Structure 1
Amino acid sequence: MNQKIDLLFTLDEGYLAPLKVALLSIHDNNPRQDFRVWLVHERISEESITTLQAFCHSLGFELQVIKVDGSNWASAPTVARYPKEMYFRLLAGEILPEDITKVLYLDPDILVINPLTDLWNLELDQHLLAAATHTGLLDVSTPINKVRLDLDHEYYNSGVMLLNLTQAREKVQWADISRVIEKYAHFLVLPDQDILNYLYGKYALTIPEERWNYDARMYAKYFTRSLSKHDLHWVMANTSILHFCGKPKPWDKKHDNRFTALYLSYQNRVVELEKEL
């Protein structure tokens, strides 16, 4: 049996259904791997937690639930798409037990289609985190974000992050985060991701997006950028994490791309599995 992998999700009740889809995909594509799932939330109901516990148990996953007081984030910019819970990952080092030295944070709008072991075993050394950038063919978004946030490093997507909690406990301070929120709230487009890049991007280790944070909207970009190498056959053999960034989401009727059917197949299996619980 491999070393247990710690997974972190920070979300509200509205994302529990996608979370179950993500967990089922992790289970299917990481056979014989132990997982411990950390769910950090503010107001998910006890009934929903009980249901999730049963679901995780059916997969053989350990579930640890931590309820936090979100009052610290009262002044933080939020919208329906970016609820308060997204900020909790920034303080993962403070929230999770001290004997947890690293954790793999995942957004719930993902599918895992190959093993996570190589990412988990990545040597972080003194880096605070490992994350991917999402760059276009002409890489327009990264220069804009660098100017907007005055960055001298890449702009990282916070949807998939291997977090070095030892470094986080040294470097991540609520006072710094609070200062940025107070001073720059009106400049924050993707609030917690902007804060992460502004304060801590300089401590990040870059990982290849094609493997670990594949933007499911951008098949044509990856295909063209790789000179036609990264076709669907390559993706299914080499990509571990499909990330359904932006809108519509794959559970919405308007979503229709090369990966929609794959997502819906997992979603349908979750429905059937829950009928048996």
Structure 2
Amino acid sequence: MTDEINLLVTLNSGYVEPLKTMLYSVYVNNPDEHIHLWLLHASLTATEVAAIQQLTTAFGWTLSNEKVATDFAAGVPLIKRYPREMYFRLLSGQILPTTVKRVIYLDPDLLVINALRPLWEIDLQGHMLAAAVHRGVTGIVDSVNQLRLGTKTSYFNSGVLVMDLEQARAKIKLADITTAIDQHESELILPDQDILNFLYGADILEIPEEIWNYDTRKYLSYQTRSLNQHDIHWVMAHTVILHYCGTPKPWEAASDSKFTSLFLYHQQQLQRFMPTLARDPVE
């Protein structure tokens, strides 16, 4: 395992601003880490990429801007309300250089509030991927999704993934994804996540959701399931990744959850950080 952490993000223009806040949270809560950010997209403008580059340079990180050729995913029958970028995480083994052996994929709608390195160094135990399951109190979601998709494994959330790209290059094929969407389009609710579970669920190592992919909507569920052990003090000390699943998102005016203020705090600190870049440009 290299000392440098490979961090993968895939997005379109609609998530550039939340991405900046997420990246800032990684930086301030992992100040001694060197991050190589792999930015996968199909349509970001040069100005948007430059804004992300300004941040990564200030952080002392490396940025690789990987614009995916439009014909790469042309064969994927996209479901209209979802952007093509959602498939890039699954196909990242084919997109990124073969020298990249492992990545942590993160959705833009989350915060990293503690150390990422234990996730980077996790033993995948031969699995291709690591991911968390959002079970709630009863775990009924697993059963519903198994019935819906005809699977036997737990239903994994695709917002945080550790990916062994050497295995992914051998096992994840565009043709398999295309075929699965063609055959099951009417059954897909969250297309890329459903495809992840349908095709690759058996090759995923489960990691604790309350640490690595905490659903910020479910604070009371986590407390109940842990017999009140996982209160807000526990979360701040132990949880690494807060995931703002669903809507409204924390940057939207309608959001007023227990964890909204923490996102807004990081967003505010980023806004205060930005003027220092203009005053002290990085060489």
- Shorter-chain TM-score above 0.5: yes
Q: What do the CA deviations read for 1:228-272 (whole angstroms, capped 9, x no partner)?
A: 000000000000000000000000111111111110011112222
SS at match of 1:146: helix
Flag structure 2 segments of 5+ consecutive residues without an equivalent: 278-283
Residue of structure 2 equivalent to 1:176: 176
Residue of structure 1 equivalent to 2:192: 192
Residue 273 of structure 1 and its aligned partner are, at CA, apart by 2.3
Q: Does residue 75 of the first structure (1) align with residue 77 of the second (2)?
A: yes
Q: Does residue 120 of the first structure (1) align with residue 120 of the second (2)?
A: yes
Q: Tell me which amino acid in the other structure corresponds to 1:64.
A: S
Residue 175 of structure 1 and its aligned partner are, at CA, apart by 1.0
1:145-184 alignment, distance < 5 Å: 145-184=145-184
Q: Tell me which amino acid in the other structure corresponds to 1:199.
A: L
SS at match of 2:118: helix
Say if 1:29 and 1:113, in contact at 8 Å, map to a contact too. yes
Residue of structure 2 equivalent to 1:62: 62
SS at match of 1:181: helix
Task: Give the whole-Å Cα distance in 2 for the aligned partners of 1:263 and 1:243.
Answer: 10
Q: Does residue 236 of the first structure (1) align with residue 236 of the second (2)?
A: yes
SS at match of 2:147: helix
Residue of structure 2 equivalent to 1:32: 32
Residue of structure 1 equivalent to 2:5: 5
Q: What do the CA deviations read for 1:161-193 (whole angstroms, capped 9, x no partner)?
A: 000101101110111111011111121100000
Could you say what the CA RMSD is over the residues aligned between the two structures, in angstroms?
Answer: 1.2
Task: Give the whole-Å Cα distance in 1 for the aligned partners of 2:166 and 2:258.
Answer: 39
Residue of structure 2 equivalent to 1:140: 140
Say if 1:126 and 1:167, in contact at 8 Å, map to a contact too. no
Q: Normalized against structure 1, the TM-score is what? A: 0.96
Residue 125 of structure 1 and its aligned partner are, at CA, apart by 3.5
Q: Does residue 259 of the first structure (1) align with residue 259 of the second (2)?
A: yes
Q: 112-121 or 53-62, which moves further after superposition?
A: 53-62
Say if 1:7 and 1:106, in contact at 8 Å, map to a contact too. yes
Residue of structure 2 equivalent to 1:99: 99
Residue 70 of structure 1 and its aligned partner are, at CA, apart by 3.7
Residue of structure 2 equivalent to 1:21: 21
1:190-229 alignment, distance < 5 Å: 190-229=190-229
Residue 116 of structure 1 and its aligned partner are, at CA, apart by 0.6
SS at match of 1:180: helix
Q: Normalized against structure 2, the TM-score is what? A: 0.94
Residue of structure 1 equivalent to 2:280: none
Task: Give the whole-Å Cα distance in 1 for the aligned partners of 2:200 and 2:54.
Answer: 36
Say if 1:70 and 1:84, in contact at 8 Å, map to a contact too. no
Task: Give the whole-Å Cα distance in 2 for the aligned partners of 1:90 and 1:154.
Answer: 18
Flag structure 1 segments of 5+ consecutive residues without an equivalent: none
Task: Give the whole-Å Cα distance in 1 for the aligned partners of 2:142 and 2:189.
Answer: 13
SS at match of 2:48: helix
SS at match of 1:136: coil
Residue 69 of structure 1 and its aligned partner are, at CA, apart by 2.4
Q: What do the CA deviations read for 1:115-138 (whole angstroms, capped 9, x no partner)?
A: 011111001142010000000111
Q: Tell me which amino acid in the other structure corresponds to 2:98.
A: E
Say if 1:5 and 1:35, in contact at 8 Å, map to a contact too. yes
